[in-house]
Amino acid sequence: MAVVGVDTGGTFTDVICWTDDGFAVVKLPSSPDNPARAVLSGLARLAVPARSVMHGSTVATNALLERRGAVTAFVTNQGFEDIIAIGRQNRPELYDLASRKEPCLVPEALRFGAPGRVSAEGKVIEELSAEAIRDLVARVAASGAESAAVCLLFSFLKPEHELLLGEALAEAGLSVSLSSDILAEFREYERAATTVANAYVAPVMAGYLGDLAAGLPEGAQLCVMQSSGGLIRAETARREPVRTVLSGPAGGVVAGLAMGKAAGFDRLITFDMGGTSTDVSLLDGALSMAAETELAGLPIKTPMLDIHTVGAGGGSLARLDAGGALVVGPESAGAVPGPACYGKGDGLTVTDANLFLGRLSPDHFLGGQMPLFPQRLPELFTALGAAGGLTAVEAAEGVIAVAEAAMERAIRVISVERGHDPADFALLSYGGAGGLHAVALARLLGVKTVVVPRHPGLFSALGMLFADVVRDFSETVMAASDKTDLIEVAGLFGNLETRARQIMAEEAPGARMVLERQLDMRYQGQSHELPIRFVADPFLAFHNRHEAVFGFKHPKAVIEIVTLRIRARVITDKPQFTEAERLVAGVPAEALLGWRPLICQGAEQVAMWYDRDKLLPGSTLSGPALVAETSATTFLPPGVAAEVDGFGNLVINVDGGRAATA
């Protein structure tokens, strides 16, 4: 019986299996019409029965982005029905006269007000009668809603009214999401938006996980990756799918942290370029966390890794805009029809540009399992270039340059804008398309070292195997530093930790559990918080963190502890990265597949072409070169040097000296 990690992307589905004998991998096109089909097909190809399946899924994400969720009703206090549409009145595009908000997930006819009221102190100031509940449930049921999001004022302090409404709505046959379960924190709009998002995707996620579980071997355990980098049981993911909106990208970041610690790379920028998008994150010895993200026009406020995503992937479509400028993405060709070289469509993509320039082998894509058709590309790139006054080669290199510019901006968001210099980090490149662009990105950012792990196209799936089972718990407390000492702060965690232990004991009885404390803190009068670990002096830690992020601190100002957080982790069995001795100098003869012509910066060159599976620890190579494997190809431009380290990573020195292996 095996432990299996699965990552379902917009273009490919990746499956990696861990047994006592090592790893086995499968990569196959995704099936957007029924994502479970590709997952089950990949598991069948392994021919090893799965004991546990750890799954990163885009089902919740896509349901939100594509507006394919359930018909959802929003239930709140009378007079507050429209908060889900009003929002915060922010203007993200201040100077765009034609700016339009995303349509609300809940139309006006499906917003319902309930009597009853709880005060800001958590006291009932208006009762919610049984008659009022029956009347409201009848109206919701008659509206045609399939799911209901219930978010009452101050329910995070006293959830009894929400519980009564939720029970009655569930008895009426609706899928129900309660804000006191999904996000027991203050700020009613963010709480409402997150609960609505959960209610909107819950029926879709429940159906998908049901189909998937039905196809698994009897007794196999199914877990789903959360946006926070921890696993939850499938039953929990059915109820709280909003916790999985960054499920797939989180796997790669978790794997990056594990690999970095093993190989000696403590400071990494992760660069995950897949078929549809690129996801980047920063690892400074630990996972970087964020409090919320925005998806489909809604703030999603759940614990999540600090991952920045841009619509630039191998399948991103290239076109000229109204002004004649070359644009790449965010639209993607997806798995169907896919890039033009798949032979099913005419939309040019980043993958087509790489193939046209000779950086991919048409006969060895996906290990030769998926032939490509390069003969279609000269005519298509000639037409694209002619429309913009470019040659075909200039058009193809322009497509790559535009995509790389978008990815460079994304990396600057999670590094420079967070107070970090990218030059102080190594770039960890993975995803099916990452290795084709990693060195160019490193040069743009001043990064000296690029690390490409084994099986880069399946690295996010590998990360599922390194994740612990995790649940996050929170409680808004609003405690001021001039009225609360550290002993009192520690005492505030008591109820939260008791709840965490009870729930985790049910989910993983007898397992080893670790509780991690965190505080959301701010200066009194501010409207934003910073997450601070509960250390010996969290107030001092907050001052220092505030200065690092914003450039100043107020040592004499009153600090507010806004929210307490507990992360409960159940430690799982994990694979181990083992280091082999480096015995080889140069490249084994059997690793050289031949030479390939390619174009780099407008000039034709001849590149060495290597089989990565035949490279051994200690193998050294220099650019121009292509390193091919089943899940990806790595492009080494002229002037760089690379070495295979003891863990099988391809470590690239961007300046061309000896590769800086750890």
- Domain with residue 150: its CATH number is 3.40.50
Instruction: Write down which residue in 205, 228, 244 finishes a domain.
Output: 205
Give the pLDDT band (50/70/90) at residue 62.
Answer: confident
**What was the pLDDT predicted at 518?**
94
Q: Do 501 and 632 belong together in one domain? A: no
Token pair 């009214």 is at which residue? Answer: 161
Domain that residue 599 falls in: 589-653
Pick from 84-93, 105-114, 533-542, 577-586: least confident = 577-586
Question: What's the total number of domains in the chain?
Answer: 3
Q: Do 534 and 602 belong together in one domain? A: no
**What was the pLDDT predicted at 292?**
85
Instruction: Write down which residue in 162, 186, 205 finishes a domain.
Output: 205
Q: Do 556 and 608 belong together in one domain? A: no
Q: Do 71 and 193 belong together in one domain? A: yes
Q: CA-CA distance, 570 to 226, in Å (whole number)?
A: 14
Q: Is residue 30 part of a domain?
A: no
Q: Is the pLDDT of residue 47 over 70?
A: yes
Q: CA-CA distance, 192 to 299, in Å (whole number)?
A: 9
On whether the CB atoms of residues 148 and 169 are closer than 8 A, the answer is yes
Q: Is residue 49 part of a domain?
A: no
Q: Do 564 and 619 belong together in one domain? A: no
Q: Do 595 and 509 belong together in one domain? A: no
Q: What pLDDT, in 10s, does the model give residues 601-617?
A: 889 999 999 999 999 99
On whether the CB atoms of residues 521 and 580 are closer than 8 A, the answer is no
Q: What pLDDT, in 10s, does the model give residues 92-108?
A: 777 877 777 888 999 99
Q: Is the peptide bond before 103 cis (omega within 30 degrees of 0)?
A: no
Mean of the pLDDT values across residues 288-300? 84
Instruction: Write down which residue in 205, 231, 261 finishes a domain.
Output: 205
Q: CA-CA distance, 366 to 207, in Å (whole number)?
A: 30
Q: Is residue 580 part of a domain?
A: no
Q: Is residue 362 part of a domain?
A: no
DSSP 8-class letter at 167:
H
User: Cβ atoms within 10 A of the Cβ of 218, count?
Assistant: 5
User: Cβ atoms within 10 A of the Cβ of 370, count?
Assistant: 15
Mean of the pLDDT values across residues 141-155? 97
On whether the CB atoms of residues 604 and 584 are closer than 8 A, the answer is no
Greater model confidence, 135 or 661: 135
Q: CA-CA distance, 541 to 554, in Å (whole number)?
A: 12
Q: Compute, in degrees rounded to 10, the torsion defined by CA atoms 554, 555, 560, 563.
A: 100
CA-to-CA dists, residue 399 to 25, 322, 324, 552, angstroms: 31, 17, 13, 41
**What was the pLDDT predicted at 657?**
61
Q: Is residue 1 part of a domain?
A: no
**What was the pLDDT predicted at 1?**
64
Q: Is residue 162 part of a domain?
A: yes
Q: Do 97 and 140 belong together in one domain? A: yes
Q: Is the pLDDT of residue 661 over 60?
A: no
Q: Do 541 and 612 belong together in one domain? A: no
Give me the amino acid identity at 570: V
Beta partners for residue 3, in sequence order: 18, 52
On whether the CB atoms of residues 300 and 293 are closer than 8 A, the answer is yes
Q: Is residue 534 part of a domain?
A: yes
Mean of the pLDDT values across residues 615-621? 93
Q: If you average pLDDT over every residue of the chain, what do you get?
A: 91
Q: Do 648 and 552 belong together in one domain? A: no
Q: Do 478 and 550 belong together in one domain? A: yes
Q: Do 97 and 176 belong together in one domain? A: yes
Task: Give percent of the chain with pLDDT exceeding 70.
Answer: 99
Q: Do 96 and 197 belong together in one domain? A: yes
On whether the CB atoms of residues 160 and 196 are closer than 8 A, the answer is no
Mean of the pLDDT values across residues 434-450? 96
Q: CA-CA distance, 531 to 11, in Å (whole number)?
A: 35
DSSP 8-class letter at 216:
S
**What was the pLDDT predicted at 653?**
96
CA nearest to 124, candidates 149, 152, 89, 85: 152
Q: Is residue 513 part of a domain?
A: yes
Q: Is the pLDDT of residue 164 over 80?
A: yes
- Collapsing DSSP to helix, strand or coil, 183 comes out as coil
Q: Is the pLDDT of residue 226 over 70?
A: yes
